[in-house]
Every structure is written in structure tokens, then in C-alpha cells.
Amino acid sequence: MTEREQRTAEAIVRAVAEAPDAQSAMTRAVAGLRAHRPEYTWVGIYLLDGDELVLGPFLGTPSPHTRIPLDRGLCGAAAREKRTIVVDEVSADPRYLACSLETRSEIVVPILDGDRVLGEIDIDSDAPAAFGPGDRALVERVAAALAPRLAP
């Protein structure tokens, strides 16, 4: 991670840890990530509810995908596979569910409590290949900080 990514990660991790409840922890994480880079066009958190992902706090244009079954989309794939998915060009990925016609690239990072998926952080960008290793490390750090706040 660059120094700036590290500073952002530390600030968000602190804000998440100090949040009074899970809802504000998620809101703080979304706001902190959205402010990190203008290329992060849409930032949101989905929470696992049974076999669906339900949209929680987000910043950006409202998405039509407020509930995503686990067998659909990049979001479903990241939750099923319990690993980060980075897509440099969404139009080339058949799993992609369109949220905005402007979106070119996407990262989805599961929020894991051990082996259990609690939810995920989803970021869309209007720029192609917007998410490099530093972005991935940053979002994964934020997901790890959110896990204890979301674990029942």
C-alpha cells in the first residue's frame, strides 16, 4: 500500500472501531472509502440475509440491485467463493449485473467472520481497471475491521 492508502486505511479502521453501532460503522466505512479516490464512483455494503445479499449503506447513484441472490452477479460470486473479485472491464464478465451504464470496473470484497460471510464491500468505478493491489489491500483492511462490528 502507498503511504496515502495506509493513512486512509488507518483512519477508516479507527472510525469503524469507534462507531457507536454497526450501522454507523458501515456508514463511516462507506464514506471513508468514497472520499479516498474520485474513481470510486459507487461504494456500498451488502449484508448477507439467508441466501440473498441485501443492500445497506451506500454512496452513489441508487442501484436497482437492492437484493442479490447468491447465485447472481459479481456480488454473489464473491460471497460464494469467499474471496475478493476484481474485474477490470465489467462488460467482458458474463457474471456482471449492471448497476450504472457508466461503470467500467468493480471490486467486491467479502466481509468474513472466520469462514462465515457476513456481507461485502462493493465498489464500482467509471474508469476501466481502477482497482490495483493497493486498492484491494485497502478495501480488504476495511472489510476486516468491519467484521467484528457486524458479527452477531
Q: Which residues bind ligand SME (CB under 6 A)?
A: 42, 44, 63, 65, 68, 73-75, 96-97, 99, 106, 122, 124
Instruction: Provide the 3-class DSSP secondary structure of residue 3.
Output: helix
Residue 140 Cβ vs ligand SME, minimum distance, rounded to whole Å: 18
Residue 46 Cβ vs ligand SME, minimum distance, rounded to whole Å: 8
C-alpha 144/C-alpha 109 separation (Å) is 10
Type of residue at 151: A
Q: Which is nearer to ligand SME, 20 or 64 (CB)?
A: 64
Residue 79 Cβ vs ligand SME, minimum distance, rounded to whole Å: 10
Residue 8 Cβ vs ligand SME, minimum distance, rounded to whole Å: 21
Q: Which is nearer to ligand SME, 50 or 152 (CB)?
A: 50
**Longest CA span, the chain:** 41
C-alpha 125/C-alpha 88 separation (Å) is 10
Whose CB is nearest to ligand SME?
73
At 64, list the grid cell.
Answer: 436497482
Instruction: Provide the 3-class DSSP secondary structure of residue 95.
Output: coil
